[in-house]
Amino acid sequence: MLPFSLGMALTIRVGYFLGKQDVDAANHTAKTGLLLALCSATCTASFMVFGSSVITGIYSPDKQVQLIAATLLFFSAVFQFPDALQVSSIGILRGFKITRLPMVYTIVAYWLVALPLGYALGLTDIFGQPLGARGLWMGLVAGLSVAAGAARDLGHRRDLAAPGFAVLAVGEDDIPFGHGCHAPVFTPP
């Protein structure tokens, strides 16, 4: 929930600065937010990895169950990084009023990468022995990594405004599919 909360806050702050026509502050907020997201992911992942025996011990006294759960907690720890990047990047893009392409990228990453790959790795013998829950987690991490990478790529390709310019509008109709994001700008009088 921490990355999601941060993503929502980034949407608000970036939108606020764009409303003030301060693109530099919006970009600074975006960079700072991504750094904070990675720091929070590092903290939660570290807690999951180094505290896995304590966490699993809360739920079951059975050592075999704890061992299986600790393995899955490792995947959950790895999951923290693409999750933090994806949800923060999506929040930033929402602040810049870029919503359609991130939605498409996320749908593709979840439904065409994460679920099929997780199913194939976890429940079928397409890639060898079925890996069970570990395979499902691998698919989730891979799909979320694709979504995070696509969102970050879209964020890097956006060309909102040069310093000293004011943003008139950055809407979904201003973004040609697959050609980057270019917002209309005008020079101040």
**Rounded to the nearest 10 degrees, what angle do helices 100-107 and 133-157 cross at?**
160
Residue 182 per-residue DSSP state: E
Q: pLDDT digits over 68-96, tens only? A: 999 999 999 999 999 999 999 999 999 99
Report pLDDT for 168.
35
Output the six-digit token pair for 112: 């065409």
Reported pTM: 0.78
Rounded to whole angstroms, the maximal C-alpha distance in the chain is: 72
Residues 122/130, Cβ–Cβ less than 8 Å? yes
Q: What angle do CA 149, 151, 153 make, to 5 degrees?
A: 65
Based on the number of CB atoms within 10 Å of its own CB, is 161 exposed (0-12), middle (13-18) or buried (19 or more)? Answer: buried
Q: pLDDT digits over 135-178, tens only? A: 999 999 999 999 999 988 887 765 443 333 333 344 444 433 33
Report pLDDT for 153.
83
Dist. CA 175–CA 144, nearest whole Å: 23
Strand stretches in the chain, DSSP E:
158-159, 166-167, 181-182, 185-186
Dist. CA 10–CA 170, nearest whole Å: 16
Give the number of other CB atoms < 10 A from CB of residue 54: 9
Report pLDDT for 161.
38
Output the six-digit token pair for 164: 């000293």
Determine the 3-state secondary structure of 132 from DSSP.
coil
**CA-only gyration radius of the chain, Å:** 20
Dist. CA 86–CA 182, nearest whole Å: 21
Q: pLDDT digits over 101-114, tens only? A: 899 999 999 999 99
The residue assigned the tokens 């893009």 is 93
